Amino acid sequence: MTRLMTTTAALMLAAGAAQAADDLTLQLKWVTQAQFAGYYVAKDKGFYEDENLNVTIKPGGPDIAPTQVLAGGGADVTVEWMPAALAAREKGLPIVNIAQPFKSSGMMLTCLKESGVTDPGTDFKGKTLGVWFFGNEYPFLSWMNHLGLPTQGGPDGVTVLKQGFNVDPLLQKQAACISTMTYNEYGQVLDAGIAPEDLVTFKYEDQGVATLEDGLYVLEETLADPAMQDRLARFVRASMKGWKYAEENPEEAADIVLENDETGAQTEAHQLRMVREVAKLTAGSNGALDPADAERTVQTLLSGGSDPVISKAPEGAWTSTITDKALQ
């Protein structure tokens, strides 16, 4: 009897050990919204659980810098744009891209047609342009450097309006153009009653200055641990399953995002539109970073005139180690 009880206890302990999921914390770049639908879908549909992961998703916000959270140990992985990550790396933070769910950029400038802006090369001069900061300004500054436009104002340059994360400067005509994402703020402009024919948009992709957005980043020291490498590979694999599910099931994905929005600030119509627009950016990505896309980002940032975003090409700023394991 004693032997039977001992064996049973051992089996129970072994089963418990097998069931103990590995913890992992993800820091988002912004608040809970469909920009991050793939991660919420992966959690809701049990894709992380299938990979024996217990994933905590931490929303971002205007007072949260993802790279600082990562540096402070508040997250294992963060969602960040590559310009901000490379700028942080050059300043000493050993941050590394491990996966790239977003293949294309959704960033653009949206202008009122009445402002007379039809050609960035000639019509931005003397205009006020709304720009996001907190690391989001780097693609814009690089673009202006490419155009040879100073950002300190004056008739031969542009005046930069530090834009909040809203579209008010355009609605109130404080700026000729503002920063928008194809999946978010552009829709907010339309919802405010401005017709598409009264707007002019310039996508960074079309202007040849697009940089990679919404990649997954960790610290170099995290990659030094083989067990963490395995955990990250499982996380990327499950996350990409979530992204592909969101692409194919936008209505369900939008509902899942809404269920996770503790603020209650999001609406079903806006989140559904966002899911569909974001799907255009994740389309064609299996999570692996295309080195050509990364090099394009680097060259865009380096060749931006006398004040480039980064001063030299980075070394070790991205790795395929995790996606190679995830895609086996």
Q: Write the pLDDT tens digit of every residue in 122-163.
A: 999 999 999 998 778 888 988 998 899 999 999 999 999 999
Q: What is the DSSP letter of 114?
A: G
Give pLDDT, residue 304: 63
Q: Mind listing the pLDDT tens digit for each residue in 186-206? A: 999 999 999 999 999 999 999
Q: What does pLDDT average to over the chain?
A: 92
The pTM (predicted TM-score) of the whole model is 0.90
Question: Please, what is the Cα angle at 13 between 8 and 18, to 5 degrees?
Answer: 125
* 71: helix, strand or coil: helix
Q: Is the pLDDT of residue 245 over 90?
A: yes
